[in-house]
Structure 1
Amino acid sequence: MVPSGHLAAALPDAAAGSVEIDTITLCDLAPDPGWRRPVLLDRELIMLATGGHGFAEVDFRALPCRPGTLLRVRPGQVLRCAPPQLDATVIRWHPEALHGLDVDAEEAPTWVQLAGEDEDAIINEVSQLTVDSRRHRDVPAARSLLRHQLTVLLLRLSMLRSDARRAAGPEEDTFRRLCREVELDYQRTRRVEDYADRLGCSVRTLTRACLAVTGRSAKQVVDERVALQASRLLAATDQPIARIGWQLGFSEPTNFGRFFAREVGVSPGAFRAAREQPATPPVVRPRTPADPAPQVRRA
């Protein structure tokens, strides 16, 4: 697991933790105005593009953005944008901000281009939350107001993908269950057998589900999640490469180096050396409304 100190360093005021929900601009989000390196996020985040055209790079995938584009970025992911070409309102919050409220933040789509009535409703929610967070920051009742406004916003976003969720078959459900388990334990084990035992199914069932949803085997899905975390830490932190490998379950730096080179196509050192070079867009076209597990961009 990434030490909290490194996460706090990723955002200038993350350590303060005094504001549960706040709104900022893209320029406020990164310590470097040029975004030469990705930012490793430690909070939940929604970004609504309000002007310009450009790309937001989330976990090394360049996603097209224009007015009305909404991104949902989660803690632990890396983000890089190009503020000169893109303006956006950013809402961020600590996970405990929604404690006790009937909303599942995970249901919000990763990328959506808003249109029609959905666009009007969601832009209104974002605008009102932005105004209230700035005008009433020191008012005792503001905390409850902002929590409920954010809940309404997330519920509206979750409805955008409800039809796809209802249409999902058993293989999609199995794949999602596997992803949740991998997220909890990828630093300890990369064995598909361990996840199959935990989910009460066979390796064949997991592989069939992964192939149906992503075109990749269950083993590839697990390994790609480990490689993604390694890529995040290499790009957004200055932790020693050997330490990153150790955090991800590799007792020997050489084993980590071979694994990373196999998955990503370059050595950890080469990947880190190139981290200040942004992706050449477009790297990927978003799949909506059901979002697959993010993939590491091959060099």
Structure 2
Amino acid sequence: MSTLIQHTEPASASLPPDWSGIGACALPVATGAGTGLLSSHALVLTATGRLAAEVDFAERLCGPGTLLWIRPGQAARFGDPPDDTMTIVFRTGLFDPEELPGLTPDDPTGPAREPLALPRPDVFRSAFGHLAADAGGTPGPVTAALLRHQLAALLLRIRAIEPPPDLAGHVERRTFERFQRRLEEGYPHTRRVEDYAGELGCSVRTLTRASLALSGRTAKQVVDDRVALQARRLLAATPLSVAEVGRVLGFGEPTNFGRFFHRETGLSPGQFRARFTGGRPGGIPGQRSPSD
């Protein structure tokens, strides 16, 4: 999870309780509220209806039997949910890195990065129902252990639907995934591709080749995309001033941040923020094309 989450106030409708780290609610951000930054994981299940969601400024329409996994730090807002929508929220660091086979929930390269159509929605509805019922039970170590085991089973079911890629021989994929993990910790401090290549023990050319192969973006564009995404999150969902957003992202001068943001989104920071604070409506600006 990004260290920049500490600069924000969570806008979650429900946070997992401290005693278990696992909870249940209808949605992780209240319907009709502005864009909010999540401070925990949220697994949102649409059972029979359709749910309109926006996650990191991309629209998501979740049909019946769809699971949406929203990660900590992501920006989210929702339309009116069907009555049978269920959400399980859980904090980061709940599982050790090697505890769940083939899955580290806090890994930025984990499964269900897009809405996941479930092959057996009834199985997931049952699992969500049991978790929600037990989360409302008597707090204590037994209930906490029960919730933890149930959540582990649920996460492994998700992994079974989206198994990890076979990395044997796929050097570029391994390089890119290592790059993504390091970038999550490093982007507030450096935007230099040379720094990431040095930490990963490879050349800038190797890192760029892997990035182009897996994302269609150069390594520099991947870094800039991540910084611009965090800027949009903070501008849309926090009261930080434009200058403060720039500072926490490593820009010493507001003018440098403004130029960077305009280059990446086509809008000034103020123009982008106005779309979320009663200013003129508009679409969500996209990222630069690979040729930019």
- TM class by smaller structure: 0.7 to 0.9
Q: Partners in 2 of 1:122 and 1:168 — Cα distance?
A: 34
Q: Partners in 2 of 1:235 and 1:268 — Cα distance?
A: 10
Q: Partners in 2 of 1:21 and 1:265 — Cα distance?
A: 40
Gap change, CA 1:160 and 1:132, over 3 Å in 2:
same
Q: How does 1:102-121 map to 2 (within 5 A)?
A: 102-103=99-100, 104-105=104-105, 106=107, 107-117=110-120, 119-121=121-123
Query: Secondary structure at 1:92's aligned position in 2?
Result: strand
Which position in structure 2 is the counterpart of 1:74? Answer: 71
Q: Partners in 2 of 1:38 and 1:226 — Cα distance?
A: 18
Which position in structure 2 is the counterpart of 1:184? Answer: 185
Are residue 97 (structure 1) and residue 100 (structure 2) matched? no
Query: What is the TM-score with the length of structure 2 in the denominator?
Result: 0.85
Q: Contact between 1:49 and 1:65, CA under 8 Å: does it hold in 2?
A: yes
User: Post-superposition shift, 1:113?
Assistant: 3.4
- CA displacement, residues 141-175 of structure 1 (integer Å, 9 cap, x when unaligned): 11000000000111111122216445882222211
Q: Partners in 2 of 1:145 and 1:97 — Cα distance?
A: 13
Q: How does 1:116-135 map to 2 (within 5 A)?
A: 116-117=119-120, 119-134=121-136
User: Post-superposition shift, 1:123?
Assistant: 2.6
- Matched positions, count: 278
User: Post-superposition shift, 1:180?
Assistant: 0.7
Are residue 59 (structure 1) and residue 56 (structure 2) matched? yes
Query: Secondary structure at 2:4's aligned position in 1?
Result: coil
Which position in structure 2 is the counterpart of 1:159? Answer: 160
- CA displacement, residues 45-77 of structure 1 (integer Å, 9 cap, x when unaligned): 111112422421111111220111111111111
Higher relative contact order (CA 8 A, sep 6+): 1
Q: Partners in 2 of 1:41 and 1:195 — Cα distance?
A: 27
Q: Contact between 1:60 and 1:279, CA under 8 Å: does it hold in 2?
A: no
- CA displacement, residues 194-234 of structure 1 (integer Å, 9 cap, x when unaligned): 00001111111111111111111000000000000000000
Tell me how large the CA RMSD over aligned residues is: 2.7
Are residue 224 (structure 1) and residue 225 (structure 2) matched? yes
For structure 2, the residue ranges without an aligned partner over 5 or more in a row are none
Q: Partners in 2 of 1:81 and 1:168 — Cα distance?
A: 41
Q: Which amino acid aligns with 2:117?
A: L
Q: Contact between 2:41 and 2:92, CA under 8 Å: does it hold in 1?
A: yes
Q: Partners in 1 of 2:255 and 2:156 — Cα distance?
A: 46
Q: How does 1:114-263 map to 2 (within 5 A)?
A: 114-117=117-120, 119-134=121-136, 136-162=137-163, 164-165=165-166, 169-263=170-264
Query: What is the TM-score with the length of structure 1 in the denominator?
Result: 0.83
Q: Which amino acid aligns with 1:34?
A: G
Q: Contact between 2:14 and 2:25, CA under 8 Å: does it hold in 1?
A: no
Q: Partners in 1 of 2:241 and 2:52 — Cα distance?
A: 30
Query: Secondary structure at 2:252's aligned position in 1?
Result: coil
Q: Partners in 2 of 1:219 and 1:70 — Cα distance?
A: 32
Which position in structure 1 is the counterpart of 2:32? Answer: 34
Q: Contact between 1:54 and 1:86, CA under 8 Å: does it hold in 2?
A: no
Q: Which amino acid aligns with 1:206?
A: L
Which position in structure 1 is the counterpart of 2:43? Answer: 46
Percent identical residues: 41
Which position in structure 2 is the counterpart of 1:286? Answer: none
Q: Partners in 2 of 1:96 and 1:113 — Cα distance?
A: 23
Pick the structure with more helix per residue: 1
Gap change, CA 1:162 and 1:238, over 3 Å in 2:
same
Query: Secondary structure at 2:8's aligned position in 1?
Result: helix
For structure 1, the residue ranges without an aligned partner over 5 or more in a row are 284-295
Q: Partners in 2 of 1:163 and 1:179 — Cα distance?
A: 16
